[in-house]
Amino acid sequence: MSDGFEPQELADAITAVGSIEGRDVMVHASLRRLGPVRGGADGVLEAIRLALGPMGTMLMMVAADDREPFDRLASPADPDNGVLAEVFRTYPGVEVNNHPACRFAAWGPAARTLLEPQPLHDYYGPGSPLERLTTRRGAVLRLGADVDTVTLTHHAEYLAELQHKRSARRRYSRADTGPVVIEGLDDTDGIADWGNGDYFAQILVDFVAADLAVTGPVGGCPAELLDARTFVDFATRWLENQFG
């Protein structure tokens, strides 16, 4: 590995963790933790493409930097989503949806199916790309990502049967239509207070501890592959047990 991991080498390592060929896969990755890769961020995306094969589709949350009016095609990705999100947003063949609060990007034959339609309000709930990822038996691939970054947990928040859920109303500026107020469950502070810290992180920790994820090394980091339906069911029950 004189100049970094080769994309094919990473693709083989991903497949060794668990096959994603032909699946819809949402990706969370840390370039720093993966280590040097030939081609940099483009090489990482190429590795995932190789593992997906011609019939697989890659999905990623890119959101938007909200320092300027939101433009579906021009607004940079939210820096909180990492460098790879911005590289993916501008990657050849990638499509994006038109939502200022939760812009998704996708590449592959099912890209448009996953991305659209996207509800303006309650944008992680019924009818969302997260629901479609789940019902289509997709997966989440984590490559050294922070433990609290499983966006799919937001879908479980909508499914959990709880008496009280915290919601939020936020104003956005759109380049195409002007100001808009969007409502949904609180995806910044959580739907309820949990005294032990960040429940997003704990749900993933407990999911892995229950031996429901497949894990292994990819590049210089640990990787986890989560079946979307299994994770959403687990997270929904977890939330109901903690807050019900």
Each residue's pLDDT tens digit, 16-29? 999 999 999 999 99
pLDDT tens-digit map of 95-151: 999 999 999 999 999 999 999 999 999 999 999 999 999 999 999 999 999 999 999
Whether 234 maps to a domain, the answer reads yes
pLDDT score at 94: 98
pLDDT of residue 215 exceeding 80, the answer is yes
In a domain, 182, yes or no: yes
Report if residue 221 sits inside a domain: yes
Position 189 in a domain? yes
Rounded to an integer, the average pLDDT of 142-167 is 97
Within-domain flag for 1: no
CA atoms of 136 and 228, how far apart (whole Å): 9
The C-alpha atoms of residue 186 and residue 116 are separated, in whole angstroms, by 22
Average pLDDT in the 87-96 region?
A: 97
Residue 1 reports pLDDT greater than 60: no
The distance of Cα 143 from the centroid of its chain, to the nearest Å, equals 12
Pick from 111, 120, 113, 71: which is nearest to 88 by CA?
A: 111
- Is residue 159, in this structure, part of any structural domain at all? yes
Kindly state the percentage of the chain with pLDDT values over 90.
Answer: 95
Check residue 244 and give its pLDDT.
85
Let me know if residue 2 belongs to a domain. no
Total number of domains in the chain: 1
Range of the domain at 66: 7-243
pLDDT in tens, 46-83: 999 999 999 999 999 999 998 899 999 999 999 999 99
CB contact at 8 A, 229 and 152: no
pLDDT of residue 139: 98
| Pairing label, strands 139-143, 178-185 | unpaired
Q: Which residue has the tokens 């990657």?
A: 91
What average pLDDT is seen over the chain? 96
The answer to whether the CB of 118 falls within 8 A of the CB of 99 is yes
Taking the CA atoms of residue 107, residue 75, residue 27 and residue 11 in that order, the dihedral angle to the nearest 10 degrees is 60
d(CA 65, CA 84): 14
Question: In this predicted structure, what is the pLDDT of residue 224?
Answer: 98
**Does position 2 have pLDDT exceeding 70, yes or no?**
no
pLDDT, position 206: 98
CB 182 within 8 A of CB 120: yes
Instruction: Tell me if 105 sits within 8 A of 60, measured CB to CB.
Output: yes
By CB atoms closer than 10 A (0-12, 13-18, 19+), residue 2 is exposed
Assigned domain for 195 exists = yes
Q: Among 75, 53, 205, 236, which residue's Cα sits nearest to residue 142?
A: 205
Do the beta carbons of residue 200 and residue 153 sit within 8 Å?
yes
